[in-house]
Amino acid sequence: MARPIVALVGRPNVGKSALFNRLVGRQQAIVEDVPGTTRDRLYGDSEWAGVEFTVVDTGGLDIAASDPRQPKEARPAPLAQASADYVEEVRAQVEVAIAEADVIIFLVDVQDGLTSGDEDVAHLLRRTGKPVFLAANKADNAALRAAAVDFYALGLGQPFPISALHGTGTGDLLDAVVGSFPAGEPEELPEAVKIAIVGRPNVGKSSLLNALLGQERAIVSPIPGTTRDAIDTFLEWEGRPVVLIDTAGIRRRGKIERGIERYSVMRALRAIQRADVVLLLIDATSGVTLQDAHIAGYILEEAKSVVVVVNKWDLVEKDTHTMAEMTQRVREALRFLDYVPVLFVSARTRQRVQQVIPTALRVQAERLMRIPTGELNRWLQEIVSQHAPPSKQGRRLRLYYVTQSQVDPPTFVFFVNDTQLVHFTYQRYLENRLRERYPFEGTPLRLVFRPRDERG
């Protein structure tokens, strides 16, 4: 059977993200004392009493302010001003999380007491027919734990007084949640290729994710900065397991505001670190900017494989030379990424979107390629005979032997007479000639030089 899914649901600022972080065992969701911080669905893996399950964090559910049956001017003010422009989108995301969940944890704030917003959410959850467990959060002392009984009025059974921040009471809650799972062993997910989608704000990262999935997996807005967390989505692409990671837009360091936005950028950089392949999105209407080059530098520092995806291609006036000219400009602006494939797509019209994942998988295969040692050394003899190493102060560099020490990223160790004699121009020559024979498309190479006596 598939791993059970537990959705965390509640109105804004009741502590859903704090409980999510406690259940997954790391600070994956952004936690701030600001209602409306979480907007999209955020997934993580958890385990309790030997049982593994998936946890889904959701945005604050504001039923009254997002009621589609009421005209907007007749709705009450949103509970969370920070997400006032997104109440309908957040509600849609929460409803998807509820639909795919096996079990729901409904969080309320015992310090606020029973509110009309809680009653609205409870009414929605009662209609699902799914197991719902009521967690009275922020019960940080005996008096607050006793006050949790007030939530019996919601008609959802026993409230579990907990403190997501301190962990008290969560064991009893999880015992009940895990006990409600269907019997059977969860199936293991196959090892998936992790593909991160990164770029400046408003270049179309969430739109590309939705186009790849064929569904509204992330909220799409023309306002820069809508996506705040790195969001993982598992899918199979022609039988291959893939995890797509949508991220927040990465601004220039001086433009990053303190607080939530700073955390969002940190999440995006961590997404680069754990990705196998990074899709660097560029806005075709503005071309490659200095910030695009900075982000490319982050990717290169982590030695990650890259596909440059030029989005919004439908908005560019084109002739027969436009694509070639844009490719040349991209390669000139990202000179240190001259080995990466460049795709021209439109997430909005889905033009050439079907090429994105196959290209990323091809790049990942290159990243994992291993070259036999004998073949490498025949190559080395050939290229050294064509261009002898330079000399320095009367001493000439000698290359004795080369071996590929690892993949992911491909790393080549050259044994030489003196590492001080290795000039960067000759190192560049070796890499260029290596790529002529073995392209390693989209993948950075590491060339390491050691004295010959280190070989053993």
CATH number at residue 449: 3.30.300.20
Residue 187 within any structural domain of the chain: no
pLDDT of residue 290: 87
Q: What tokens appear for 29 in the block?
A: 């969701």
Same domain? 34 vs 170: yes
pLDDT of residue 364: 96
- Boundary-marking domain end, from 155, 179, 203: 179
Same domain? 161 vs 274: no
Residue 258 within any structural domain of the chain: yes
Residue 188 within any structural domain of the chain: no
Stated length of the chain: 456
CATH number at residue 9: 3.40.50.300
As a whole number of angstroms, the distance between CA 92 and CA 77 comes to 18
pLDDT of residue 114: 95
Residue 186 within any structural domain of the chain: no
Q: Give the count of domains, the chain.
A: 3
Same domain? 22 vs 125: yes
> Of the candidates 181, 111, 99, 174, which has an alpha carbon nearest to the alpha carbon of residue 141?
111
Same domain? 362 vs 405: no
Same domain? 335 vs 385: no
Same domain? 148 vs 205: no
Residue 413 within any structural domain of the chain: yes
Q: Which residues contact 132 (CB under 8 A, 6 or more apart)?
A: 103, 104, 105, 106, 125, 126, 156, 157
Residue 227 within any structural domain of the chain: yes
Same domain? 76 vs 207: no
Same domain? 339 vs 428: no
Residue 213 within any structural domain of the chain: yes
- Host domain of residue 388: 373-454
Same domain? 203 vs 140: no
What is the layout of strands, in order, in the sheet containing 411-416? 399-406, 411-416, 446-451
Same domain? 18 vs 71: yes
Mean pLDDT by 10 residues, the chain (456 residues): 83 91 69 46 84 88 61 48 60 81 95 93 92 96 95 95 94 95 61 89 89 71 50 82 81 47 59 90 92 88 94 92 92 86 95 95 95 96 93 88 94 95 93 94 95 63
Alpha carbon of 167 to those of 58, 139, 153, 251: distances in Å?
A: 20, 10, 25, 35
